[in-house]
Amino acid sequence: IPIREDVSPPAGTPELDKIKFLKVDWKWLRANYAEIIRRFNQIFQR
């Protein structure tokens, strides 16, 4: 979804009010940050 107002979105792009956003538990994320990074690196740095 383009941020710039002078760029048209691709055909079929939903309106922003139709997009479901993830709810983030920021306290849990911070408490588990090291494990999240470790697991991310384990998966993607092969």
C-beta atoms surrounding 41 within 10 Å:
10
Residue 15: DSSP 8-state: P
Q: Quick: pLDDT tens for 9-25.
A: 899 999 888 999 999 99
- pLDDT for 31: 99
pTM: 0.54
